[in-house]
Structure formats: C-alpha cells, structure tokens
Amino acid sequence: MGKVESIIKSEIVRLAKREVKKMTLPLRGEIKFLKGIVSQLRKALLTLQRTSPPRLKGKEVSMEVSPEEVKSARFSPRLIRSLRKRLRITQRELALLTGVTVGAIHQWERGKFKPEMKKREIMVALRKLGRREVRKMIEAKNSRKIEKKTVSQKTSKTSSKKK
C-alpha cells in the first residue's frame, strides 16, 4: 500500500507544481517589465540630480559675514550648544554645516577647543539664519553627499569588474 500512496503523492505534487507554474509564468513577465521601468527611472533621476544644481526655494541663503562681526562675536561652549539647540540640529548636522567632525563639535561644546576663524564665520552666519533655512542647507548638503557616494560606488563596482 505504501507504493500506491507514494505514487499518488508524487502525482499530486507534480500536478500542483504544473498549476503553480501556469499561474506564475505571466506574472514573471510583468515583474521583469516593471523592474526594467524602475531601473530606467532610477537612471533618469540620477542624471537629473547630477545636471541640475540643488536649489533652495525663494532666496539664496547668505553665509557671508563681515570680519568685524566675527571678531566681535563671543564664543563659549554654552553659546555653541544653545545655537545648536535653538536651530534644533544635532552635533552631526552642525558638523556637516561647518565642515568639521562630530568630535570637533563635541570638543567645542565641552570647551576643550575653540573654533578656527573660518568656522567662526560659519557659526556667526548660522546665528542669523532660521530653522527652515538651516534645514534646507542640511538637506542640500546631504543630497550632495549621497550623490558622491552613489558615484563612487558605481566607479568602484566598475573598477572591480575590470580586474
């Protein structure tokens, strides 16, 4: 009796696989087509992002300050921390805006180091800006950073394929 059961079981499995294949075969074609469209859209988006400069809505944000303002501006760990809190940004985001590491921001806020003159200029300019403007600047810098990563990843993939 075991032989008949195994034959029936194998026949049921074979018929089930055939039915599943009939149902999934048209879907495979659709999936392949949709993946192709997604790939084309990604490529088009990347080319558009590369060619068009990042724009801020409305006016351009001015990061220029006079040397007198920088010299007269006071900097203390508490003031740097309060600026960051007022703008509602993290140490990482402030580091991105000023062009330093997160560790440097941490040291500034602890009073172990003081920002250099160029970094002070940026901090004075940030004092004049509002949260929205700063958020737009962070988003613009992050988008540039992401573009650089994708380009470098693509070049590393192509160079590894050549080897």
| Residue 37: C-alpha distances to residues 8, 32, 135, 151, 153 (Å) | 44, 9, 33, 21, 22
Does residue 58 register a pLDDT over 50?
no
C-alpha distance across the termini of the chain, in Å: 60
The rounded distance, in Å, linking the Cα atoms of 137 and 114 is 24
* pLDDT, mean of residues 45-68: 71
Tens digit of each residue's pLDDT (9 = 90 or more) over 14-43: 999 999 999 999 899 999 999 999 999 999
Sorting pLDDT into bands at 50, 70 and 90, what band is 142?
confident
Is 71 or 35 the better-scoring residue by pLDDT?
A: 35
- pTM of model > 0.75: no
Exposure pattern of 56-72 as b/e (b: 16+ CB <10 Å)?
eeeeebeeebeeeebee
The rounded distance, in Å, linking the Cα atoms of 45 and 36 is 14
Q: What is the pLDDT of residue 10?
A: 94
Domains of the chain (ranges; CATH) run 67-154 (1.10.260.40)
Which positions ≥6 away from 50 have C-beta within 8 Å?
A: 147
Does residue 121 register a pLDDT over 70?
yes
Amino acid residing at 27? L
Q: Residue 162, by phi and psi: left (phi above 0), alpha (psi -120 to 50) or beta?
A: alpha
